[in-house]
């Protein structure tokens, strides 16, 4: 079901910025997490400036996964792109993860609007391998459910540089 909500041009720009790295880019200024929301007039999906994290924002962070999850608002839906670094038994990987955050505590109308608008955003975010639907902070309290999305504990050995 399509909602008629469009995707703002800034979202496309931010997607290209988080998706690509260019020589000369400063590693600490690379985007690690970007939140997106539906505008107040419910006409477009926009960048939520309050939920952006750069690599430098996570330096010294003991639990990067918890910091990422803490950016999700408690009672409000959001979309997110997370530039996830993880290590399998074979190699080090970096993949973008699309997160659909629709907490049980958010209004039903909002959950329906976000669900019906998700496809417009996914068409912009082409090539993303992983999608994680989260409806409750309990699903995100530790990284185990997320690690299952990446291939499971048998495959994933480290998440954000930390042994699991």
- The pLDDT tens digits of the residues spanning 20-71 come to 876 567 888 899 999 999 999 999 999 998 889 999 998 888 888 888 888 9
Fold of 6-163: Severin (3.40.20)
pLDDT band at residue 4 using 50, 70 and 90 as cut-offs: confident
pLDDT band at residue 11 using 50, 70 and 90 as cut-offs: very high
Please tell me the pTM assigned to this model: 0.90
- Find the Cα–Cα–Cα–Cα dihedral 135, 141, 143, 145, rounded to 10°: -40
Domain ranges of the chain: 6-163
- Predicted local confidence at residue 1, as pLDDT: 42
What digits encode the pLDDT tens for the residues 62-110? 888 888 888 999 899 999 999 999 999 889 999 999 999 999 999 999 9
- Predicted local confidence at residue 144, as pLDDT: 86
């Amino acid at each position: 079901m399509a909602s008629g909500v469009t995707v703002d041009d800034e979202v496309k720009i931010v997607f290209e910025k988080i998706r690509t790295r260019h020589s000369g880019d400063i590693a600490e200024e690379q985007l690690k997490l970007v939140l997106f929301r539906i505008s107040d007039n419910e006409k477009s999906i926009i960048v939520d400036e309050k939920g952006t994290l750069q690599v430098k924002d996570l330096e010294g962070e003991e639990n990067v996964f918890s910091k990422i999850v803490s950016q999700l608002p408690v009672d409000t839906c959001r979309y997110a792109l997370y530039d996830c670094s993880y290590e399998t038994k074979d190699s080090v990987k970096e993949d973008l993860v699309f997160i659909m955050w629709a907490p049980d505590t958010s209004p039903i109308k909002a959950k329906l609007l976000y669900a019906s608008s998700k496809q417009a955003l996914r068409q912009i975010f082409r090539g993303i391998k992983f999608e994680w639907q989260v409806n409750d902070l309990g699903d995100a309290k530790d990284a185990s459910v997320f690690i299952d999305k990446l291939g499971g504990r048998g495959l994933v050995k480290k998440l954000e540089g930390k042994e699991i």
